[in-house]
Structure 1
Amino acid sequence: MQKIKIENTFAQDWIRMFAHLANLFFEQCEIITEDAENASKVDFIFKELEGNKLSAKAILNYEGKQYEATFSEIEEVGDAKVKSRQLKRIYSHVFLEVLEQATEMKQSWGILTGIRPMKLYHKYRREGLDSEEAVEKIMKNYRVSREKGELLAKIAAIQLRSVPDLYDLKDEVSIYIGIPFCPTKCAYCTFPAYAIRRKSGRVESFLDGLHEEIREMGRWLTEKDMKITTIYFGGGTPTSIEAEEMDELYKTMYESFPNMEAVREITVEAGRPDTITPAKIDVLKKWGIDRISVNPQSYTDETLKAIGRHHTVQETVDKFWLSRNMGMKNINMDLIIGLPNEGMAEFEHSLAETEKMQPESLTIHTLSFKRASEMSQNRNKYKVADRKTVEQMMKLGEEWNEKNGYDPYYLYRQKNILGNLENVGYAKPGEESIYNIVIMEEVQTIIGVGCGASSKFIDRNTGRIKQFYNPKDPAAYILTYEESIEKKLAFLDGIFPETVKK
């Protein structure tokens, strides 16, 4: 384990910040404040310069060599929080730069470890900057490479083409409906996903609570004459439940939610091919739902076994064509780069198989070691691709999508992601998922119902976000969903105190 000593003057949130940055360079790194054997050391020097400039210098002693970096900028006007954010950004600059010098490893996303890069770009555009000015500011303030900055600009242009009123959706809401069951749980997964078992009766009990939650939310939405932008069924795998249960759920949704004819998009994740049947597709068609996800993740059977997906590659192919031939006109597929024992050859094969099907959209995820996943807890058991390989895989994915007529339309990043890369959603022109755009850019309130559903309540005036999480466990959800309904309605009343005028 790499150890880096810093001064014993920083608060814990600063130490966490330095640790997140250091972990971009080292598989395991600990930030310490006491002397330790074989530890590297960073000294910081801070100065307030003439012209209201703030400046920081970092001096790193690493493996017998010394590295230095300095960064300064004009002090921002604002309260203590504004100054704290600026100081963290300045210190992050110099800390990252000396680590880049020492390791000869360039971070294309600069000091960004948790923030959503697209939100920064949109923020600068809404402040009046043109595209090039927004890119330049992101590069300067956050050390982001030009290549990544221009990717943000390209994605934003496609988002605004797909949703021209993106910045004006604050008076509408979207709905997320979480169904927490899967045939099995994947090794990399931390979503609410429980192996579906019928004997305990928890599926039926959960669905009873979900119907009631939908009805109660529907009453509030109807009273406010609220417009719903999109509805998204996630999980888990929403198609894990039976066709008759899906039918009843969609019936309740249509009876409860107002203005359903104005909803722009309804998506149902059918991510596990082993849950897709002709009867379930018939139900989707009955309710006018034709956007689904059929997620291969990989087209190598050995990989699917290693990550706990109990279906075959052939089943993915068969269920895609079943869905297509039965009338599903908007199908998304997901691929994950960096899965155990996969390199360029396996990813090239996955792309070649995808090319035969030409789904309307393709999301390329980079494997992330999420803290609670089985893969993270048993990391030594899983051999994954190195940084150089995953970078090559991501580049290959970009080239494949461009060649096949797909545009990048949303992007997000996660901590502990291989190669410090990103997840990118691509789509054929006009087939972009509106829900994916609005949730990633956090432009409107998302009401989450069901197990593990996250609600994001966005203040229409300040843009501040409050989050509320339904319980992940079905048993806990069944016991507390009525209390969750009350709390969410209270949040909603605070945001929408009066009926929104259309």
Structure 2
Amino acid sequence: MQKINIQQSFPQDWIRMFTHLANLFFEEAKIEIEDMDDAIQVVFNVKQADGTWSGESTLQWKGNTYHSSFVEKEENGDDKQRNRQLKRVYSHLFLDSLEQATGMEQAWGILTGIRPTKLYHKYRKEGFSEADTKKLLMKQHRISQEKVDLLAKIVDVQLGAIPDLHDLKNEVSLYIGIPFCPTKCAYCTFPAYAIHRKNGRVESFLDGLHEEIREIGKWLKDRDINITTIYFGGGTPTSIEADEMDALYQTMYDSFPHMTEVREVTVEAGRPDTITPEKIEVLKKWGIDRISVNPQSYTDETLKAIGRHHTVQETIDKFWLSRTMGMRNINMDLIIGLPNEGLDEFKHSLNETEKMQPESLTIHTLSFKRASEMTRNKNKYRVADRSTVEQMMKRGEQWTAANGYVPYYLYRQKNILGNLENVGYAKPGEESLYNILIMEEVQTIIGIGCGASSKFMDPVTERITQFQNPKDPAAYILTFEEYIEQKIEHLERIFPNRPVVTEKI
């Protein structure tokens, strides 16, 4: 743990800000106001005069001293805006000092949030040109030219895929979570429980899920609210049996309004060991042809190490089974930085992917999520260093461009290797609309099922309220009716004037 002594008193939310920035440079950092032995010492001097914020900082570490300065014109606004700008000034000084001291450059600058593209959209909606938006991101947030250009490209693709992206506030999308997997991967913190049929847990969960779909569907149908996209996630939605999938899609079509107008329905079949001809026939029956078949890696030893009980060959076989049986839009995921993998292993994964040419490919960077098995037993897993993961990401960018893919969504996570990003690539016209909508937070996403997170966005204020269903199937079974009522209360609040539609006799 790296100790950092900031010789000035700050509120707790500021301490969190400094900690997030410090963690970009050190595996774990501890910020303290009081003196600590062997700590990095930081002193700030920030002042306001003549409509300008100006600041200086001094950082001392290992016998060396580093000086930083930053000047920015004062922005007009309320106390909240003033506090936001002041935080930005301190962030610039702190980041610059740490970059000097460590020799590490942060391509994402002072950004520690997960949605850089949302910030790009914000500036464009405020009337800034593309050139001015790029300048703002580089000046105010210290984002590199390379990353700013990537954001611009992604936003352009998003608006091509969904031209009315910013006009969908009065529609909703749905996330339906099924919390079962054959096994739980070592890096995973999603609601994912090894599926078994003891004590009727799966059947009881599905009974609750059907009821939740019916009740939320009734509310939407009664108010004639359109659904933009539907996404079945988890866990692995194809962990349940084919007849259970069939019944679930029947309830979906019976319950939700205007299903023929829904732009996209996706089912994650991420674990190849759950895919069968019978389940693909069910998907085809309901017109669902967008699925994921996720290898993560094309090295069998890696799959064993991370707890995925399938082989590379099974991934390949299930991809071609899905393709030959009519799955038109297949996504695949690869993860950079998995245990014992370097650039050679990642090149091999890309070479294997090239033989299949899925419609979309998401390249994730490994993140040590707090509740994952991999984080709890970090010493057990040897992962690539920062330089190697950067090379792997660069190779992924080159490979996707050479194979006709374009980047269409991006998000970041805390504790992500190399302070990099996760990028979704797609063949032009094959982008996942749901992935764009969930990342850009432009409409309400209703979470249904175990561990499903809802984001209720007020169409007027655009304020977002989050709501989480229970993660554990046993808790969900006991409380789903209560959670249905609470979600409907949220919906009533953000759509207060939608009249109830009565059927004509």
Task: Give how far 1:138 is off.
Answer: 0.8
Task: For residues 397-421 of structure 1, give each alpha carbon's deviation from its aligned partner in whole angstroms, at most 9, with x where no partner exists.
Answer: 0000000000000000000000000
Which is further off, 53-62 or 377-386? 53-62
Which is further off, 28-37 or 12-21? 28-37
Query: Contact 2:222–2:500 (CA<8 Å) still a contact in 1?
Result: no
Query: Contact 1:224–1:498 (CA<8 Å) still a contact in 2?
Result: no
Query: Contact 1:159–1:410 (CA<8 Å) still a contact in 2?
Result: yes
Q: Structure 2: which amino acid aligns with 1:479?
A: L
- Report whether the alignment pairs 1:39 with 2:39: yes
Query: Contact 1:295–1:316 (CA<8 Å) still a contact in 2?
Result: yes
Q: What are the residue-to-residue correspondences of 1:321-336 with 2, within 5 Å? A: 321-336=320-335
Task: Give how far 1:284 is off.
Answer: 0.2
Q: Structure 1: which amino acid aligns with 2:111?
A: L
Task: Give how far 1:77 is off.
Answer: 2.2
Gaps of 5+ in 2: none
- Report whether the alignment pairs 1:29 with 2:40: no
Q: Distance in 2 between matches of 1:210 and 1:501?
A: 24
Alignment correspondent of 1:384: 383
Query: Contact 1:58–1:95 (CA<8 Å) still a contact in 2?
Result: yes
Query: Contact 2:2–2:29 (CA<8 Å) still a contact in 1?
Result: yes
Query: Contact 1:42–1:58 (CA<8 Å) still a contact in 2?
Result: yes
Alignment correspondent of 1:356: 355
Alignment correspondent of 2:122: 123
Which is further off, 2-11 or 135-144? 2-11
- Report whether the alignment pairs 1:274 with 2:273: yes
Alignment correspondent of 2:293: 294
Q: Distance in 2 between matches of 1:62 and 1:183?
A: 49
Q: Distance in 2 between matches of 1:12 and 1:380?
A: 31
**What secondary structure does 2:198 align onto?**
coil
Alignment correspondent of 1:366: 365
Gaps of 5+ in 1: none
Q: Distance in 2 between matches of 1:131 and 1:223?
A: 42
Task: Give how far 1:135 is off.
Answer: 1.0
Alignment correspondent of 2:15: 15
Q: What are the residue-to-residue correspondences of 1:52-131 with 2, within 5 Å? A: 52-131=51-130
- Report whether the alignment pairs 1:145 with 2:137: no
Q: Distance in 1 between matches of 2:131 and 2:315?
A: 42
Alignment correspondent of 2:308: 309
Task: For residues 98-124 of structure 1, give each alpha carbon's deviation from its aligned partner in whole angstroms, at most 9, with x where no partner exists.
Answer: 110111111000000124100100000
Task: For residues 425-480 of structure 1, give each alpha carbon's deviation from its aligned partner in whole angstroms, at most 9, with x where no partner exists.
Answer: 00000000000000000000001100000000001111110000000000000111
**What secondary structure does 1:200 align onto?**
helix
**What secondary structure does 1:111 align onto?**
coil
Alignment correspondent of 2:6: 6
Task: Give how far 1:501 is off.
Answer: 12
Which is further off, 33-42 or 253-262? 33-42
Task: For residues 132-167 of structure 1, give each alpha carbon's deviation from its aligned partner in whole angstroms, at most 9, with x where no partner exists.
Answer: 111111111100001100100000000001100101
Which is further off, 225-234 or 491-500? 491-500
Query: Contact 2:453–2:467 (CA<8 Å) still a contact in 1?
Result: yes
Query: Contact 1:338–1:390 (CA<8 Å) still a contact in 2?
Result: yes
CA, structure 1 residues 501+80, in 2 after alignment: closer, same or farther (shift >3 Å)? farther
Q: Distance in 2 between matches of 1:76 and 1:456?
A: 30
Task: Give how far 1:74 is off.
Answer: 2.0
Aligned positions, number: 501
Q: Distance in 1 between matches of 2:344 and 2:378?
A: 23
Task: Give how far 1:481 is off.
Answer: 0.6
Q: Structure 2: which amino acid aligns with 1:465?
A: I
**What secondary structure does 1:323 align onto?**
helix
Q: Structure 1: which amino acid aligns with 2:254?
A: E
Query: Contact 1:239–1:270 (CA<8 Å) still a contact in 2?
Result: yes
Which is further off, 174-183 or 107-116? 107-116
Task: Give how far 1:15 is off.
Answer: 1.1
Query: Contact 1:21–1:96 (CA<8 Å) still a contact in 2?
Result: yes
Query: Contact 1:213–1:449 (CA<8 Å) still a contact in 2?
Result: yes
Q: What are the residue-to-residue correspondences of 1:249-288 with 2, within 5 Å? A: 249-288=248-287
**What secondary structure does 2:83 align onto?**
helix
Q: Distance in 1 between matches of 2:347 and 2:482?
A: 49
- Report whether the alignment pairs 1:461 with 2:460: yes
Q: Distance in 1 between matches of 2:39 and 2:488?
A: 52
Alignment correspondent of 1:219: 218
Q: Structure 2: which amino acid aligns with 1:2?
A: Q
Alignment correspondent of 1:187: 186
Query: Contact 1:267–1:289 (CA<8 Å) still a contact in 2?
Result: yes
Query: Contact 2:223–2:500 (CA<8 Å) still a contact in 1?
Result: no
Q: Distance in 2 between matches of 1:233 and 1:239?
A: 9
**What secondary structure does 1:201 align onto?**
helix
Task: For residues 151-188 of structure 1, give each alpha carbon's deviation from its aligned partner in whole angstroms, at most 9, with x where no partner exists.
Answer: 00000000001100101011110000000000000000
Query: Contact 1:226–1:500 (CA<8 Å) still a contact in 2?
Result: no
Alignment correspondent of 1:449: 448
Query: Contact 2:8–2:43 (CA<8 Å) still a contact in 1?
Result: no
**What secondary structure does 2:284 align onto?**
helix
**What secondary structure does 2:445 align onto?**
strand
**What secondary structure does 2:332 align onto?**
strand
Q: Distance in 2 between matches of 1:250 and 1:443?
A: 26
Query: Contact 2:368–2:415 (CA<8 Å) still a contact in 1?
Result: yes
Task: Give how far 1:4 is off.
Answer: 1.1
Task: For residues 163-220 of structure 1, give each alpha carbon's deviation from its aligned partner in whole angstroms, at most 9, with x where no partner exists.
Answer: 0010101111000000000000000000000000101211000000000000000110
Task: Give how far 1:497 is off.
Answer: 1.4
Query: Contact 2:174–2:447 (CA<8 Å) still a contact in 1?
Result: yes
Q: Structure 2: which amino acid aligns with 1:59?
A: T
Task: Give how far 1:54 is off.
Answer: 1.4
Q: Distance in 2 between matches of 1:27 and 1:115?
A: 19
Task: Give how far 1:8 is off.
Answer: 4.4
Q: Distance in 2 between matches of 1:350 and 1:249?
A: 34
Q: Distance in 2 between matches of 1:240 and 1:344?
A: 32
Q: Distance in 1 between matches of 2:368 and 2:442?
A: 28
Task: For residues 332-355 of structure 1, give each alpha carbon's deviation from its aligned partner in whole angstroms, at most 9, with x where no partner exists.
Answer: 000000000000000000000000
Identity of aligned residues (%): 73
Q: Distance in 1 between matches of 2:398 and 2:355?
A: 16
**What secondary structure does 1:108 align onto?**
coil
Output the TM-score relative to the length of structure 2.
Answer: 0.98
Output the TM-score relative to the length of structure 1.
Answer: 0.98
- Report whether the alignment pairs 1:245 with 2:244: yes
Q: Structure 2: which amino acid aligns with 1:270?
A: A
Q: Distance in 1 between matches of 2:232 and 2:161?
A: 21
Q: Distance in 1 between matches of 2:230 and 2:166?
A: 19
Query: Contact 1:171–1:500 (CA<8 Å) still a contact in 2?
Result: no
**What secondary structure does 1:178 align onto?**
strand
Q: Distance in 1 between matches of 2:36 and 2:260?
A: 65
Q: Structure 2: which amino acid aligns with 1:434?
A: L
